[in-house]
Structure 1
Amino acid sequence: MAATGAAARDRFAGRTALVTGAGSGIGRAVALAFAAEGARVVVAGRREQPLKETVALIEERGGEALAVPADVSRAGGAEALVAAAVEHFGSLDVAVNNAGIFRGGAPLAGLPEADWHEQLSVNVTGVHLALQAEIRRMRTQPAGGAIVNVSSTFGAHVTTAGAAAYSATKAAVTALSRGAALDHIRDGVRINVVSPGATATPMSLRAGETERDRAERARATLPLARISSTQEIAAAVLYLASDDAASVVGTDLVVDSGGSL
């Protein structure tokens, strides 16, 4: 699924792609991948400095990007983000709602109420409000648009101890996305989901675990014997956002080294 050749690198030429949670990890990899294939990229997140670093990486490689600090868990933040993207680049053709947080690691009975509400706010309400703002803009455009929400294998696909609340929020993202996909495909807005499993980001490290420890655990437990790279998750996102997936609507694409099997 990796981009190859001049044609593949031009899949998003002339299009504007918005990526939330783009200051690090999967979000940064997705932003870089879109830029490499010709998109003008709006990178969003709560902290400005990591966004600027993502923009610098894109510009170093000859791409075009804009950093917009935003809190999409608030309606005004999502609306302002979309408005900034359109004002700067003229359209919103692709959106990737990737921002998410994990608060857990212990049994549900011990989860602080504040952690429950924060995960709901960012992981579910943030996606809901971002979807609303993005759809409202995209359905006014002749070519519509494509949206990819980043969920997780935790929730709709697998269950693990210490992540009940997080899993609930991610299962909600999948359900929300599938419903929105049916609601708005006739508006020209195509919505899908990517559900990563263990990926090479700090979130997949267990308490006290090193990257080497994680690699050993993956060799022993995953059918592929390794975790996914952020670039592999980005490749899945770009596929669903591209014209290659023009008839793919409401799917939940799992990328997890076989961990859900």
Structure 2
Amino acid sequence: MNRLEGNVALVTGGSRGIGAAVALRLAEEGADVALTYREGEAPAQKIVEQIEGLGRRALAVRADSADAAALDAAVERTVGTLGRLDVLVNNAGVFLVGPLDQLGPAEIDATLAVNVRAPYQLARAASRHMTDGGRIINIGSNIAERAPFPGLALYAMSKTALIGLTKGLARELGPRAITVNLVHPGPTDTDANPAAGPNAEAIAGLTALGRYAAPAEIAATVAHLAGPDARYLTGSVISVDGGFSA
């Protein structure tokens, strides 16, 4: 299928996990794809090669999502190299957890810089280049809907903030037919959270389906939101969590 033929997408944190799956799925749908990574050039280049193997153009940009100037530069490089920008996927995130008395100002600032400020900054930069009908898709977390264990307050706060950002941007950009939506993944089998990890059985048991998602299952929903069939869907929060929050 080539529902995204002629489109250019930027996926932050696109070198591994959900971000890599999203980048590849958008390329399969016909988009040229730029992705950012903070460290690990080799994995990022591997995704670039896979995208190019699908016959699409690809670009890996090293950018720390905590650095607003680096994010602006990533958008400009995407547009300068690939010619346009139609789809932004705010996927990069940090996951700092722990007791309330152990997470202070440094951890708060680090979390909010990447999980909240970066999506706002990227939407601001990307929307300047998007033509009418663009797409912004934020990647949140099931923890925004349900925090089942202690130590998740800071992370849950940061991901819950994306609900307000998504709805506010949907209103602001709606007159240009730019849609803005939020996807809350549930437990997903990635390097950072493997389905064979020490606590995986308990976490999977919190879902209605009793299992972790594959990254490709999250990417499928993102691809739908990026495509023409989702043009009347905006300001929405979609949980792809196997019934974790049911």
**Which band: TM-score by shorter chain?**
over 0.9
Q: Which residue of 1 aligns with 2:35?
A: 43
Q: One-letter code of the match for 1:238?
A: A
Corresponding residue of 1:3: none
> What is the 5 A alignment of 1:120-139?
120-138=112-130
Output the CA distance in 1 between the equivalents of 2:199 and 2:207. 11
- For 1:186-242, what per-residue CA distance to the aligned partner results, in whole angstroms no more than 9, with x for missing partners? 02321111011111123435xxxx716555335533210111110000001111111
Amino acid across the alignment from 1:183: E
Matching residue within 78, 84, 91 for 1:91: 84
- Residue by residue over 1:98-135, the C-alpha shift from the partner in whole angstroms, topping out at 9 and shown as x without a partner, is 0001011x221222432221111111111111111011
Partner Cα separation in structure 2 for residue 100 and residue 86 of structure 1: 23
Match of 1:17 among 9, 15, 18: 9
Instruction: Give the Cα separation in 1 of the matches to 2:124 and 2:29.
Output: 26
Q: Give ranges in structure 2 of 5+ residues lacking alignment.
A: none
Query: Deviations along 1:148-189, whole A, 9 cap, x unmatched?
Result: 01011112x112311110100000012111111111110232
Of 129, 147, 167, 1:159 maps to: 147
Moved more, 41-50 or 210-219: 210-219
Counterpart of 2:45 in structure 1 is: 52
Pairing partner for 2:229 from 244, 247, 255: 244
Q: Which runs of 5+ in 1 are unaligned?
A: 1-8
* TM-score (normalised: structure 2): 0.93
Q: Distance in 1 between matches of 2:171 and 2:61?
A: 30
What SS does structure 1 have at the residue aligned with 2:142?
Answer: coil
CA distance in 1 between counterparts of 2:68 and 2:205 reads: 44
| RMSD over aligned Cα atoms | 1.7
Matches of 2:50 and 2:73, distance apart in 1: 24
Q: What number of residue pairs does the alignment pair up? A: 244
